[in-house]
């Protein structure tokens, strides 16, 4: 009897946005086909090779990929350094009309357009007050260590430019998934917080309707499971209400 061939698979140290999006492109496939595509996308073994594996080996590798996905931390970082460039998040209260219009178009499918959304919201820092502040290296990025009350006040970013946005979007596909999804979660959560304010000030709703709608929105906000993001919401909402 022929001995089974030993399969050696190297999982990536960092699960990136590019990896994640590669998985979402195959929702039309059946379950086993999705397993093959997922393993191929993450391990970079081509699909023809994966199809020749023993089914038990395939499922073992797939479980390792699934476990890695579950362990991806989603955290919002207003400042990070990636591939030699330091980026800062654009405070949402300071977005101009062009930025909001471009964001609105891409939010029809936020995950599919995530790298473009990130390229609108994160831009190179042109002026900062980081002297004496410490950085932490994590995976392929560096993040600034500081209190979370309002990191936005420590920097200024470059003006919005659509050509530079497209260039950044390609680069941001290699961002760690936790950083990308953390930013999206923060952004969507901010939108829900604004909806709460709008509901509470609406002249066309009864007190009961306002209460029920506010509770529903706040429940949706809690379901986003944002890490250490509450102070950012409060700061941004206060700014936008001026």
Section 72-92 average pLDDT:
88
Contact 51, 40 (CB under 8 A): no
Structure tokens at 153: 């006040």
Q: Per-residue b/e over 44-75, b at no fewer than 16 CB within 10 Å?
A: ebeeeebeebeeebbeebbeebeebeeebebb
Section 18-37 average pLDDT:
76
Predicted confidence at residue 231, as pLDDT, reads 35
Nearest to 62 by CA among 140, 138, 111, 7: 7
Q: How confident is the model at residue 235 (pLDDT cuts 50, 70, 90)?
A: very low
Q: How confident is the model at residue 218 (pLDDT cuts 50, 70, 90)?
A: low
User: What is the layout of strands, in order, in the sheet containing 79-82?
Assistant: 134-138, 141-145, 79-82, 85-89, 122-128, 155-157
Predicted confidence at residue 61, as pLDDT, reads 85
Section 83-103 average pLDDT:
86
Higher per-residue confidence, 168 vs 33: 168
Question: pLDDT tens digits for 116-143?
Answer: 999 999 999 999 998 888 898 887 899 8
Predicted confidence at residue 84, as pLDDT, reads 93
Section 43-64 average pLDDT:
85
Percent above pLDDT 90 for the chain = 20
Average pLDDT, the chain: 76
- Residue matched to tokens 């357009």: 113
Q: How confident is the model at residue 79 (pLDDT cuts 50, 70, 90)?
A: very high
* Res 25 pLDDT > 50: yes
Section 163-167 average pLDDT:
94
Highest mean pLDDT among 94-98, 104-108, 160-164: 160-164
Q: Where are the domains of the chain?
A: 17-70, 79-240
């Amino acid at each position: 009897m022929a001995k089974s061939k030993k399969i050696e698979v190297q999982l990536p140290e960092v699960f990136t946005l590019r990896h994640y999006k590669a998985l979402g492109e195959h929702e039309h496939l059946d379950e086993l086909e999705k397993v093959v595509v997922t393993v191929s996308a993450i391990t970079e073994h081509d699909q023809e090779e994966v199809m020749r594996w023993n089914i038990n080996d395939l499922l073992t590798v797939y479980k390792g990929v699934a476990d890695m996905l579950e362990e991806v931390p989603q955290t919002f970082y207003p400042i990070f350094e990636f591939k030699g460039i330091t980026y800062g998040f654009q405070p949402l209260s300071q977005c101009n009309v062009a930025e909001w219009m471009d964001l609105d178009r891409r939010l029809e499918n936020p995950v599919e357009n995530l790298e473009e959304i990130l390229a609108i919201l994160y831009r190179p820092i042109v002026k900062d007050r980081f002297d004496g502040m410490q950085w932490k290296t994590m995976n392929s990025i560096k993040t600034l260590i500081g209190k979370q009350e309002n990191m936005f006040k420590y920097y200024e970013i470059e003006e919005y430019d659509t050509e530079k946005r497209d260039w950044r979007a390609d680069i941001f596909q290699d961002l760690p998934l936790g950083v990308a999804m953390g930013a999206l979660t923060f952004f969507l959560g901010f939108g829900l917080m604004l909806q709460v304010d709008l509901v509470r000030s609406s002249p066309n709703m009864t007190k009961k309707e306002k209460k029920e709608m506010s509770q529903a929105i706040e429940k949706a906000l809690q379901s986003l499971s944002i890490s250490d993001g509450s102070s950012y919401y409060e700061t941004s909402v206060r700014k936008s209400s001026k």
